[in-house]
Amino acid sequence: MGLSGSGAVASIVFLGLCATVSCWPAPPPPEMLHESFAGKSEFRTVNRRRLSSCSNPSPYLSINVSSGGAPLPDEAFLTVTVAGVLRPDADDWVAMITPCSSSVSGCPLSGVNYVQTGDLAHLPLLCHYPVKAQYMKRDPGYLGCKTAACQKRDASGACSVRTCAATVTFHVINFRTDVEFVLFSGGFRTPCVLKRSGALRFANPASPLYGHLSSTDSTATSMRLTWVSGDGRPQQVQYGGGKSATSQVATFTRNDMCSSPLLPSPAKDFGWHDPGYIHTAVMTGLQPSQSYTYRYGSDSVGWSDTNTFRMPPAAGSDETSFVIYGDMGKAPLDPSVEHYIQPGSISVVKAVAKEIQTGKVNSVFHIGDISYATGFLVEWDFFLNLIAPLASRVPYMTAIGNHERDYAESGSVYVTPDSGGECGVAYESYFRMPAVSKDKPWYSIEQGSVHFVVMSTEHKWSEMSEQYKWMNQDLSSVNRSRTPWVIFIGHRPMYSSHVGIPVNVDLAFVASVEPLLLKHQVDLVFFGHVHNYERTCAIYKNICKGKPKKDESGIDTYDNSKYTAPVHATVGAGGFSLDKFPRIVLNKWSLSRVSEFGYARVHATRGDMLVQFVSSSTMEVLDQFRFVKPDPARRLRNKPV
C-alpha cells in the first residue's frame, strides 16, 4: 500500500549487519537512529525545489570525509566533517550523491516530469536525486560552535575571524558508482550548493555482494542464488564441498523502465541508478533439510565470505516452518532521511534473523511491497544489504506488490504510479522465483506438508485471464495426501477492517478469485498491503462459515476435518508505517487485530498447523491460532480396502 500513516517508533539498533564486513569506523549510537520517521519525508520533494545561489559563502569552507581519500570498503560508516563555517545555520545540510557526475544543478525544463507525484508547485532542484541527506545540526555542537578554529588574528593576537566545524555520520554500502558529499544551505525548501567533497570511489566496484536464495522447485534438491556485481562476466557459486555452478548474468537499463511520453517516471529520470549486473546460478544435487556452505564470485572480482544455508524439507515430508510478512522496505542505518523510509523494517529483519538462528525456519515469504525503491533504484542495494542476514541463509520467497509493478500503460491491473516506473523489471531481476515466465510472476511450491500458491494481485486475475486459469489448474492438481495444507498468498487483501483511501479491498478481485479458494478448499490465505495484522473466521462472501474453538491451552482452533471456508490473515506489518484500526469495528468476521510491527511464524505438521503473529520489538506472540485435521495419508492407510 502507498499511503503513509503516522507511527511512533522506538529507536532500534541493528547489530547483525556487519558480521561479514568491516564496519569502519563504528556505527553511530542507537539514540541517533531514526528520530524522524515519516512515510514520505520533506526530503522526498527536495528535487522539486528551485535552486538558488548562496549569498556570501564563507571563503574558509571545507567538507572532508573520514576515509581520507582511501577507496571505500563494501560497507562503512563515514564521518563527514564540515569546517570553516562562519555562521552555523539550522538549515545547513549534507547530501550523499551518486554517481558524482549526477547533476546537482536545477533542472527547470524537467518540471513536467514531477507532476505525476502530485506536487505541482515547484520546479526540481536537482537533476538527479540524492541517495540520502542529513542536517548539520545533527551534530549537537554545530549551532553553538563547539568546535571552533581561528582563521585570522588582529595585531594584538586576538582572533578576529572564527569559524565552526561539525561532523555527521553516513552509512554507505557498495553500490558500485562513486560517491560525493555536497553541502547545502537553505534547508530542503530553498537550498543552494555551498561546497562539494570531491569523488570517493569503492575499492572494488565489481565485488560480488547481496547473495540471496530462492527455492526452484518442490523436490528441495536445488537452490538458486542471486547476487549483484559491477562486473558482467560470468562468476561462480562454489558450494557443498567442491561443487560449483556458473552464473547467468542479467541487467536492466534506463530504457527498460516504464514511463509515459508526457510524464517521465522517477525510474527513467531523476531516480535512475545503474544496477550493475545481476548474477544468478542454481546449485543442484542437494538434499532436503541439509545445510551447505557456499561462496560466490570469481578469482578476478574476488569472493564473498563463506556462508551457510539450509535446504527446506521436500514436498510430502512431515513438517515445515516458515516466516511470512509483507510491506517491509528498508530504513537507513544512520540518522539520514531518504526519499522513502519504512520505520519497522530494521526491527522485523532483526527479529526474523533471530528466528532463523534457532534453525527452525525453513523459508521466508515476503508477500509484496519488497524494497519500496519505487523508481529510486539505488535503494534496492540498501534493501538487499538489509535482508542479507535472512536471505543468505534460507530461501527468500517473494510475491509482487503494487510498489514493484504498478504504472500507467504498463499492463498492471491498477493504473497508479506506485512502482515509480519500475513496472516489475527491477523486482523480477533481483527476485527470481519459480514463476511461469517473464512478467508472469505467479508460482506454486511445496515444502513439507504445505502447498503454497503465490499469485500476483497486480496482474490480471479475472475469470478469463491466464493467471486465473493457472490458479484454478494448480489448485485442482494438489495432492492432499502429499500436502494436506493449501496456503494461498497474494499482496492485496480480500478482507480488512482498516478504512483506507483509496480503499484496501477491490471487490472485483474478491468476486473473481474468492470462489476459487472455497472450491479448492484452501485452508489459509495470507495477504499484505494493509500495514497491520488481522485474522478472520473461516469466511466466504463476508459471512462466517466456521468459527474456531479454544483448544485445551486456550488457542483458537479451526477444525478443518469439517472444512467450511478459508481463514484470511493480513500480515502487512513488516515495516511500513502502521495502519490503525478504527476504534469500533463492527465486522463480525474480524477475530483478531494488531497494529504493531511483526511477522507471522507458521509450523505445519501433517495434522496440525500453528500460526503465530509475533511482535518484532518484543518477540511476544500477539495472536495465535491453529488448524487441525486428521492426517489424510494415515486415513488412507487405515481405510479397509
Ligand X SMILES: *[C@@H]1O[C@H](CO)[C@@H](O)[C@H](O)[C@H]1NC(C)=O
* Candidate ranges 231-239, 255-263, 476-484, 591-599; the one touching ligand X (CB under 6 A): 476-484
Closest CB 353 distance from ligand X, rounded Å = 34
Phi-psi region of 518 (alpha: psi -120 to 50; beta: other; left: phi over 0): alpha
* Candidate ranges 221-229, 289-297, 305-313, 475-483; the one touching ligand X (CB under 6 A): 475-483
Backbone angles phi, psi at 413, to 5 degrees: -65, -40
Minimum CB distance to ligand X smaller for 316 or for 343: 316
Minimum CB distance to ligand X smaller for 337 or for 604: 604
User: Using CB under 6 A, which of 20, 222, 481, 521 touches ligand X?
Assistant: 481
Partner residues linked to 632 by β-bridges: none
265 makes contact with ligand X (CB under 6 A): no
Alpha helices in 323-446 (DSSP H): 345-357, 378-391, 402-405, 425-430
User: Using CB under 6 A, which of 7, 211, 316, 326 touches ligand X?
Assistant: 316
Minimum CB distance to ligand X smaller for 165 or for 341: 165
Cα–Cα distances in Å, from 269 out to 51, 259, 353?
Answer: 18, 9, 36
Please compute, for residue 74, the number of CA atoms within 13 A of its CA located in the half-sphere on the CB side.
22
Minimum CB distance to ligand X smaller for 416 or for 481: 481
Closest CB 636 distance from ligand X, rounded Å = 8
User: Using CB under 6 A, which of 67, 81, 169, 215 touches ligand X?
Assistant: 81
Q: Which of 335, 334, 345 is closest to 370 using CA atoms?
A: 345
Minimum CB distance to ligand X smaller for 481 or for 617: 481
The answer to whether 166 and 134 have CB atoms below 8 angstroms apart is no
Q: Which of 525, 542, 192, 578 is closest to 347 using CA atoms?
A: 578
- The C-alpha atoms of residue 552 and residue 639 are separated, in whole angstroms, by 29
Collapsing DSSP to helix, strand or coil, 171 comes out as strand
The answer to whether 506 and 302 have CB atoms below 8 angstroms apart is no
Closest CB 497 distance from ligand X, rounded Å = 39
Minimum CB distance to ligand X smaller for 181 or for 527: 181
Closest CB 64 distance from ligand X, rounded Å = 4
User: Using CB under 6 A, which of 284, 290, 479, 561 touches ligand X?
Assistant: 479
Cα–Cα distances in Å, from 260 out to 274, 405, 527, 552?
Answer: 21, 15, 30, 59
Minimum CB distance to ligand X smaller for 163 or for 280: 163
| Chain-centroid distance, C-alpha 259 | 23
Closest CB 479 distance from ligand X, rounded Å = 4
* DSSP secondary structure letter of residue 491: S
Burial class of residue 437, CB neighbours in 10 A (0-12, 13-18, 19+)? exposed
Minimum CB distance to ligand X smaller for 83 or for 172: 83
Residue ranges in 82-121 that form contacts with ligand X under rule CB under 6 A: 83
Minimum CB distance to ligand X smaller for 66 or for 251: 66
Minimum CB distance to ligand X smaller for 198 or for 285: 198
Please compute, for residue 406, the number of CA atoms within 13 A of its CA located in the half-sphere on the CB side.
18
Minimum CB distance to ligand X smaller for 186 or for 632: 632
Closest CB 320 distance from ligand X, rounded Å = 15
Minimum CB distance to ligand X smaller for 47 or for 169: 169
* DSSP secondary structure letter of residue 484: -
User: Using CB under 6 A, which of 137, 201, 482, 545 touches ligand X?
Assistant: 482
Total number of residues binding ligand X (CB under 6 A)? 9
- The C-alpha atoms of residue 207 and residue 175 are separated, in whole angstroms, by 10
Site string for ligand X, 423-462 (x = CB under 6 A): ----------------------------------------
Minimum CB distance to ligand X smaller for 147 or for 416: 147
Residue ranges in 211-230 that form contacts with ligand X under rule CB under 6 A: none
User: Using CB under 6 A, which of 20, 62, 66, 151 touches ligand X?
Assistant: 62
Backbone angles phi, psi at 371, to 5 degrees: -110, -20
The order of strands in the sheet holding 396-399 is 396-399, 363-367, 320-325, 598-604, 608-615, 621-628, 556-559, 549-550
* Candidate ranges 222-230, 298-306, 479-487, 492-500; the one touching ligand X (CB under 6 A): 479-487
User: Using CB under 6 A, which of 52, 64, 79, 251 touches ligand X?
Assistant: 64
* Candidate ranges 110-118, 391-399, 474-482, 560-568; the one touching ligand X (CB under 6 A): 474-482
Minimum CB distance to ligand X smaller for 165 or for 423: 165
The answer to whether 295 and 318 have CB atoms below 8 angstroms apart is no
Residue ranges in 146-175 that form contacts with ligand X under rule CB under 6 A: 165
The per-residue b/e assignment along 459-498, b for 16 or more CB within 10 angstroms, e otherwise, is bebeeeeebbebbbebbeebeeebbbbbbbbbbbbbbbbb
Minimum CB distance to ligand X smaller for 106 or for 484: 484
The answer to whether 451 and 486 have CB atoms below 8 angstroms apart is yes
The answer to whether 288 and 330 have CB atoms below 8 angstroms apart is no
Closest CB 150 distance from ligand X, rounded Å = 13
Closest CB 481 distance from ligand X, rounded Å = 4
Closest CB 600 distance from ligand X, rounded Å = 27
The answer to whether 325 and 594 have CB atoms below 8 angstroms apart is no
Closest CB 455 distance from ligand X, rounded Å = 24
* Candidate ranges 450-458, 478-486, 493-501, 513-521; the one touching ligand X (CB under 6 A): 478-486
The answer to whether 341 and 41 have CB atoms below 8 angstroms apart is yes
Closest CB 70 distance from ligand X, rounded Å = 12
Closest CB 480 distance from ligand X, rounded Å = 8
The residues binding ligand X (CB under 6 A) are 62, 64, 81, 83, 165, 316, 479, 481-482
